[in-house]
Amino acid sequence: MRSSYDAQRNEFCAYVMHERETPYGLLLGNFKSYAQSTAKAGVRGLWDADSDRIIFGTHQIAYRLRDVGVTYFPHEIERTFTFLPYAQLSEFTLGERIHVTEAFYVPHGPKFDRSVAFVVDLTLYNPGDAAVEVAVFPWALLVGQRFYGETEADVDAGVIDGSIHAVNSTLGAQRWWGGSREPYAATVSVREQALLAQMRSGTLLEEDAVVEAFVEGGDTARTSSVRGRIFGAMEYRITVEPGARSLLRLAVVFHKDGDLDLRPRFKDLLNDSKALHDTQRYFAKRLADARFLTPSQRISRGVVWAKANMLRIIKEYPIGWGSTNSPPSDILVSRDTSWFVHGFDYFLPEFSRDAIEVFNQHIEESGLMIEYVRGVNAYKTAYDLNINDDTPLHCIAMLHHYNATLDEAWVKSRLPIVRRLADYLLSQRDERGLLFGKAQGVDMYGISSWRNIIPYYKLDGAVTEINS
């Protein structure tokens, strides 16, 4: 069976629903980034695996039918979502005049699998018999924040040749944001409400004391900078002919290295007509393995989406490959990785191997497996426990990986690690021969089991789960 997303082949992996039916949009990702959609098709933020930071704030789009003088903001639009393993489609109509499709995705495939980026491809379709001029207003918070909390400081933002460039003057991290068409105007501002008022009135070119605008035909090399909580906005004026479709691609690209010339990568993503296709092909190729089709539509869908979700959380962190249990994050938990291996072994065993090796490199000197390790700075902890479920689960994961790959050379080279883990487990037996936990605290420091986040609770002793 060839790679496809065709429901006629019983894959059933597209969901179509009204926005009222879902509180969230999709969380998408490649090897270096995550981006989360809201239920109004905004992009909540872009996350970077090399720094474990949200590095771009909420991204939204408003539209204006210029001939009738009405601006539509996201909260005024009702849309239908199509959720695909590799992208999210949002569809709606503006004033019964223009059909809009927003295709949101994080680019994947051989060219962009390590780019910290997201894309929104807009398609404007005019089913009528007269041309319609549409103003498209994307706007965004240009600075990042730590886990949607404290706003990133020391950021300068400016307009350069119709795109917006934001740089952290302390860290050097930089991001480019713009579109595939020349904008009518582009601005940066410390007042979001000023930008929204201009969109409501019809154009971003109205005077405002805190706004600097790039004007088509003006000084295209000019930059404008402000500090603090910075917002940016762009205005694109697009005439859609009768029966025609007009396209606009919006993209954000980030890199933590300020000395890198990131602009070519940004322009390449804006102009690559195969970016969405290559993203789809990556998922199609991976989902083609380990198929499990049943007469039950729900089970068949569940298997496909389980694999799709697993593909999204594969990340290449500074310390190695891993998958977090709480995206977006660089916290790699040993027990969760061990269970992930049981699935990845069937369609991406090379990732299982790499994820196992990260933990092989971070075992405690005693032979106890750690609870988790941070993918960015390699901080690790075992919560001061003398025994946990991570240790036997890691042994089981290594066994499963060997059974799936039959790689005898690998398993023989790792036997000293297995022996070290097993010997430590045996050293923690009590007089009855049972593994016995001796917790020093409560909550995470007091629970020798998988369900280890229970406030003020202690569970130690001869824990059934670990002994079984």
pLDDT at 14: 84
Pair (38, 134) in one structural domain: yes
Confidence band (pLDDT; 50, 70, 90) for 223?
very low
Pick the range with the lowest mean pLDDT from 210-224, 298-312, 398-412, 420-434.
210-224
Confidence band (pLDDT; 50, 70, 90) for 213?
very low
Pair (343, 269) in one structural domain: no
| Residues 135, 184: Cα–Cα separation, whole Å | 9
Mean pLDDT on 225-251 = 90
pLDDT at 169: 85
In a domain, 270, yes or no: yes
| Residues 207, 212: Cα–Cα separation, whole Å | 9
Mean pLDDT on 42-54 = 94
What is the Rg, in whole angstroms, of the alpha carbon atoms belonging to the chain? 25
Which of the two residues, 21 and 4, has the higher pLDDT score?
21
In a domain, 359, yes or no: yes
| Residues 468, 457: Cα–Cα separation, whole Å | 22
pLDDT at 212 over 50: no
Pair (336, 452) in one structural domain: yes
Cβ burial, residue 431 (10 Å; 0-12/13-18/19+)? exposed
Pair (394, 437) in one structural domain: yes
Q: Average per-residue pLDDT in the chain?
A: 90
In a domain, 287, yes or no: no
pLDDT at 144: 85
Mean pLDDT on 226-236 = 83
In a domain, 296, yes or no: no
Burial 11-35, CB ≥16 within 10 A → b, else e: bbbeeeeebeeeeebbbbbbbbbbb
* The domain boundary residue, chosen from 261, 282, 303: 282
Confidence band (pLDDT; 50, 70, 90) for 69?
very high
pLDDT at 170: 84
Pair (112, 225) in one structural domain: yes
Mean pLDDT on 53-66 = 95
Pair (224, 360) in one structural domain: no
Question: How would DSSP label each residue in 25-80?
Answer: EEEEE-SSEEEEEETTS-EEEEEETTTTEEEE--EEEEEEETTTTEEE-GGG---E
Tens of pLDDT, residues 101-131: 999 999 999 999 999 999 999 999 999 999 9
pLDDT at 153: 79
Q: Positive or negative CA dihedral for 204, 136, 30, 339? A: positive
390-405 vs 334-347: helix crossing angle, rounded to 10: 10
pLDDT at 7: 45
**Domain count along the chain:** 2
The residue type of 296 is S
CB 266 within 8 A of CB 176: yes
Residue 384's region, left for phi above 0, alpha for psi from -120 to 50, else beta, is: left
In a domain, 459, yes or no: yes
pLDDT at 288: 86
CB 47 within 8 A of CB 53: yes
Confidence band (pLDDT; 50, 70, 90) for 12?
low
* The domain boundary residue, chosen from 282, 299, 322: 282
The rounded percent of the chain whose pLDDT value lies above 70 is 92
Mean pLDDT on 197-207 = 88
pLDDT at 405: 97
Pair (56, 168) in one structural domain: yes
Which one, of 154, 128, 129, lies nearest residue 142 by Cα?
Answer: 154
What CATH number should be reported for the domain holding residue 227?
2.70.98.40
In a domain, 304, yes or no: no
In a domain, 294, yes or no: no
Confidence band (pLDDT; 50, 70, 90) for 148?
low
**3-state secondary structure at position 303:** helix
pLDDT at 8 over 80: no
Tens of pLDDT, residues 376-395: 999 999 999 999 999 999 99
The rounded percent of the chain whose pLDDT value lies above 90 is 79
Residue 164's region, left for phi above 0, alpha for psi from -120 to 50, else beta, is: beta
Domain extent, residue 36, equals 7-282
Pick the range with the lowest mean pLDDT from 173-177, 186-190, 202-206, 333-337.
202-206
Between the alpha carbon of residue 134 and those of residues 91, 159, 237, the distances in Å are: 16, 23, 6
In a domain, 299, yes or no: no
Cβ count near 167 (within 10 Å): 18
Question: How far from chain centre, in Å, is Cα 296?
Answer: 30
Pair (116, 190) in one structural domain: yes
Pair (364, 259) in one structural domain: no
Pair (410, 328) in one structural domain: yes
* The domain boundary residue, chosen from 228, 259, 282: 282
Pair (385, 430) in one structural domain: yes
Tens of pLDDT, residues 241-296: 999 999 999 999 999 988 889 999 999 999 999 999 999 999 999 988 888 888 88
Pair (334, 421) in one structural domain: yes
Confidence band (pLDDT; 50, 70, 90) for 217?
very low
| H or E stretch at 269 | helix 263-271
